[in-house]
Structure 1
């Protein structure tokens, strides 16, 4: 029973993180925030703008979000299948990061990917190894995931 609680907690954190970073970018014609737009939008070392990179990354993250909603997060039927499905979602984050050239968006997406990979490691330890002590680091992982997902969402909005 404790294994299910730990797995459910991990799944809840994953879903919250996916929800945070799968938001849509703000509309281009929104001029209500012009005063705060003092930073340049494009990176000087690449031709790909933040907006263009976000346009590539966000749909991939939304697809990963859809795939994550199909995962049996309790691991009740087959813990290995649950871990494998979560790994597929984590890999999708890595592929999303690799698909863009804009350094800012790549860095932000890579940070989310790394945090989800850490979450996947904990999920594997809890479900496969039945090591409930692995869930003790969830506070740090949750904070890191929230921070990286929020940073990506802010960059892309």
Structure 2
């Protein structure tokens, strides 16, 4: 029994390091606290793609007494459980590629920021303008001002052996 526990500990440790790094990227005041509005982005950055309802349920579990903030002490165990139990699984890479290819009607290999914003804020489970601005800042090629979606897909998908 001890062998199983020992082999699981490095996995948990690695997962927690990834979670802390993702959390700390949004801890602007370096006080182990983030705004609840960043939680969806943090979860996405860890390769998880929950619905808005799942995000709201998760926030309800980890938010500090309805203050609008989440402390790392509550986020870390909850997110570790999510990752280890493979909740909110990532979308397979080939499915993402097919989706982007449908949007790229001219088969250019990229999308204009305006095109992507239109699709992502008006269809399905829409992104907020703030989420779109963050995504465009992160994924728009600064030289060409377009989004090369194959590069984006490689950043959105994770190693299944994480």
TM-score, length-scaled by structure 2: 0.26
TM-score, normalised with respect to structure 1? 0.27
Q: Which has the higher helix share?
A: 1
